[in-house]
Amino acid sequence: MNYFDEKNGWELTKPGWHEVIIPVRQLSETLHKHTEMLEWIYDNIGKCEYHCRWQFDNDSLKYKFRYERDYIWFKLTWG
């Protein structure tokens, strides 16, 4: 569910990367949506574990992208 440097925390994991934050409304819906988003990331972004980070938080879903093109594509797909 999470893929970031837990030792340094979210803010210090890859600072300067393009970030998307999506507020959580209903936990069950959000969990399903997060799973779909992760499937999309793995299917569409090459070497995603090198170029992306994500966190499932109590109040938000957070994603960071190394490349602006992946960030924009993600925003257009999941807005």
Could you give the CA distance from residue 13 to residue 10 in angstroms, rounded to a whole number?
Answer: 5
Query: What's the confidence (pLDDT) of residue 32?
Result: 87
Q: Report pLDDT digits (tens) over 16-50.
A: 999 999 998 877 778 889 999 999 999 999 999 99
Could you give the CA distance from residue 6 to residue 49 in angstroms, rounded to a whole number?
Answer: 15
Residue 76 reports pLDDT greater than 90: yes
Contact 32, 72 (CB under 8 A): no
Could you give the CA distance from residue 44 to residue 53 in angstroms, rounded to a whole number?
Answer: 14
Query: What's the confidence (pLDDT) of residue 71?
Result: 98
User: Residue 77: in which H helix or E strand, if any?
Assistant: helix 68-78
